[in-house]
Structure formats: structure tokens, C-alpha cells
Amino acid sequence: MTYAIYHIPGVKIGVTNNIKSRVEEQQGYSEGEYEILEMSDDIDYISKRELYLQERHGYRVDRQLYKDIFNNNFIELNNMNINVTEMTSTFPCPVNKLKGQLMDNIGMKWETDAGSVMITEQSIKWIMNNVKSSQYTSDRCYVYNKAFARWFDNNNPFEQACNTQCDDCGDDLFNCIRNWANERGLYDKGDPKTQYIKLMEETGEIGRAILKNDTEQIIDGIGDAVVVLTNLAELCGVPIEDCIQEAYNVISKRTGKMVNGTFVKDN
């Protein structure tokens, strides 16, 4: 197989084994708008040469060698049949089924014009917060490649989420949430009013999930709501643990009975 290093002046340097498909059909460039810099049958050589030429010409240097992305594309992309174009990565399922598909494909990588991306526990959260339904069919959804690749550049996609008890820091989940929010400047620049609006959005998501009997989305929505409540409490200067304790002190003394699925307290 022959690999070509192509150059789109002012845009990028990349590698492909099919110029017409990759550069013309997927990226929309015509002959004369790009040039072939080198060709080789040696994927090891061409992979290292690509990074060298990217750096030499002042372009963004890929995080992975082409040979690693190439091999991964042909082995793992078939799991989900992601359609990668110049602007977007489209997933072959509706939004409400996407998270499960992504969880089944953790470790999967693919190349976009903006850089290589990968499915990790952390990147799944970004995808689910930014995915959009296709305007042509509800059976597909997509993310914008540039935004996804930028998130990879600015975050640690392999950062592990906290467990119920964080073994490394000794903190519980509420402290993990506060540490996460503080590191991102939420308490310095955040506003209780915007967090309240966010809370309303999350409860709306929970309601929709309940109507659909979607357990996965119910869990996701309740978890997100707890995170927002934790940050809202902190922005108001009251730890969420104090709020929960105060509420429990009150309800623990209540008596009443269930009426039509609702607990009604005694007068």
C-alpha cells in the first residue's frame, strides 16, 4: 500500500492512502488546491515524516503517529461505523442511545482534520454535552470535529473520575466535585443564578428520561443535577452537606402517609 503526505497550503499537512477519497471527497478540495509532498510504501517512515513536515512548516503537530491511527481506524472504526467528514463526526444512532454505544467502544480512536480524537470516560462526557441530532434523520447524531479536538488539547481525556471514596486524595464525592469545579474557575467566575438555570435544564432532562423510562439517562440526569446543586450551594456560601443535614433533621421527625403516590405529612 502506498501512503502520501499531502499539503493544503495554509491549512494542514496530513497522510492518506487514498488522496481522492480523503482530500477531495471528504475534505472538499480540488486538484490544484493541494500538493503531494512525499510518497512511500513504508508506513513507519511516512508516519514520522509527517510529524517532521508539520513542525517544519509551522502546522499543528499530530499527537499520534499516522500508523497508529491508520491501524486503529481499520480495526476499531468498524465497531460504530462513524462517518468522519471535514466538519463533523457522525454516530450511527440517536442521542438517547449514544452513551451506551460510546461506553462499549472506549479506547476507539479516529482522525479528523482538526486532530486525532479518542473515546475515553472523560471524552464521553464532553460528547454527550455537545452532541446534536442530525437534521436529516433522528437515527444519527454528530459532534463538531474542531471543538472535539480543541477539548482534547485543553483537557486530560484520560483523567479518571472519582470513586465513591477517592483513594488518592481521601475525599468523598462532594469534595471531588468542589475540587473539580474550583480547578476550572467556576467558583471564581460562576454565578448562583446561572447555576440555578443549569439546574432547571438538568431537571428537565430527568423528566424527559422518566417519561421515556430511560434508566441510563435518569442516572445521568440525577448525577448532573447533584453536581449542579453542589456548586450552587458552594456559590451561595453554604456547603451542600449542611443543606442535606438540615433537610434530614426536619424530615426525620415528620409523620404522615402515602396518598396517590405522594407522601403527605401530618398537620
With 90 as the cut, is the pLDDT of residue 178 above it? no
With 90 as the cut, is the pLDDT of residue 222 above it? yes
Strand order in the sheet with 3-8: 12-16, 3-8, 35-40
Coil, helix or strand for 50?
A: helix
Count of C-beta atoms within a 10 Å radius of residue 98:
21
Cβ-Cβ contacts under 8 Å for 69 (sequence gap 6 or more) = 62, 109, 110, 111, 116
**Whole-prediction pTM value?**
0.39
More confident residue, 197 or 73: 197
Grid coordinates 428537565 are at which residue? Answer: 204
Coil, helix or strand for 122?
A: helix
Least confident of 58-62, 65-69, 181-185, 254-258: 65-69
Cβ-Cβ contacts under 8 Å for 172 (sequence gap 6 or more) = 164, 165, 166
Measure Cα distances from 121 to 52, 68, 160 in Å. Answer: 31, 21, 8
Grid coordinates 513507519 are at which residue? Answer: 44
> What is the identity of the amino acid at 258?
M
Asked if 148 and 89 count as a contact pair (C-beta separation under 8 A), the reply is yes
Query: pLDDT at position 86, please?
Result: 81
Measure Cα distances from 93 to 110, 134, 171, 247 in Å. Answer: 18, 10, 37, 41
Distance between CA 242 and CA 147 in Å, rounded? Answer: 38
Q: What is the mean pLDDT of residues 186-211?
A: 90
Q: How confident is the model at residue 25 (pLDDT cuts 50, 70, 90)?
A: low
Please give the radius of gyration of the chain, using alpha carbons only, rounded to the nearest integer: 24
Least confident of 10-19, 29-38, 76-85, 117-126: 76-85
Distance between CA 125 and CA 203 in Å, rounded? Answer: 18
Burial track 204-229 (b if 16+ CB lie within 10 A, e otherwise) = ebbeebeeeebeebbebbeebbebbb
172 DSSP assignment: B
Q: How many angstroms from the chain centroid is the CA of residue 262?
A: 37
Phi, psi of 36 (to 5 degrees): -95, 120
114-167 pLDDT, tens digit each: 888 888 888 888 999 889 998 878 888 999 988 888 887 777 776 654 444 454
